[in-house]
Amino acid sequence: MNQSQSEEIKAIRHKRWVKSTHFIITLSFLALTVSGFVILMAHPRLYWGKAGNDLTPALFELPISRNYHHGGWEQTTPFKHLTSSQVSAVRTYDIFNENGWGRSTHFLAAWFLIATGLIYFIVGFFSGHFRNNLAPRAREFSLKLLWRDFVSHFRPQTRPADTQYGLLQKITYLWVIFFLFPVVILTGFTMSPAITASYPFLLKIFFGHQSARTIHFFAAVLLLLFLVLHIVMVIRTGFKRNIIAITFGSNHEKK
């Protein structure tokens, strides 16, 4: 038996509450991704500011449906009783619109994500999960260790067998948990007129409804990128062992 066969790889021991919340958050995020994409297809234009529609300049457009750069409008008609530049127009094309089920699914999945995320945050804080497993230690902050940790993501065999989370993993997880997810949730709240009517400070924080929608989009894209990279690393470092560890597995697996 050679060294690689006799080496014991220590899998991270996940508690049941971590496994449960991880499972629910993953399903919720996937539902949010699909429904969010459908909502975006109905109006693939992003704006900056308080308001925006097909007749106002967009920050940029996404070529993801037939609603992109359609140009299908009759001649615009100004509102006579308004002194500013608001106009109205009628579409001349068959618009793609699946907002009904898309928004309902998005709303439902969002509350599952928020409720489960709160449980994860509260239990993680009081159980010491964040402090013991995710908080970087002072000794980890060195260029040599950071470089070795970075290289290990491209060459998994260079990572020590008894290492649980590397510095880059810890920083990434903390960034996702304490920045990206809160931004996605708060910008989602800001897009709701009912919520901003009670909490108008959200509009000031995110510069208006349409700005919140744009920030929401970019934060969601970063989360999706994190998910893709996370899956890639799970596969590269031992798909079976990692999946078992986060679902119903044991503490160790011998290789």
**The pLDDT value given to residue 70:** 63
Domain ranges of the chain: 8-254
Band (1; pLDDT cuts 50, 70, 90) = very low
Which of 74 and 16 is assigned the larger pLDDT? 16
**The pLDDT value given to residue 74:** 61
Residue-wise pLDDT tens digits, 38-57: 999 888 889 998 888 877 88
161 and 9 in contact (C-beta within 8 Å)? Answer: yes
Q: Which of 31-45, 147-161, 165-179 has the highest mean pLDDT?
A: 31-45
**The pLDDT value given to residue 162:** 41
Q: What is the DSSP string of 29-40?
A: HHHHHHHHHHHH
Mean residue pLDDT across the chain: 79
Lowest mean pLDDT of 1-15, 76-90, 226-240, name the range: 1-15
> Is 58 in a helix, a strand, or coil?
coil
Q: Is the pLDDT of residue 18 over 50?
A: yes
Residue-wise pLDDT tens digits, 96-148: 677 888 899 999 999 999 999 999 999 988 888 888 888 887 777 777 777 77
- Spell out the alpha helix ranges (H) of the chain: 3-6, 16-42, 99-126, 129, 143-152, 167-175, 181-190, 193-198, 201-205, 209-236, 239-246
> CATH: 1.20.950.20, 3.10.20.30, 1.10.357.10, 3.10.310.30. Which one for 8-254?
1.20.950.20
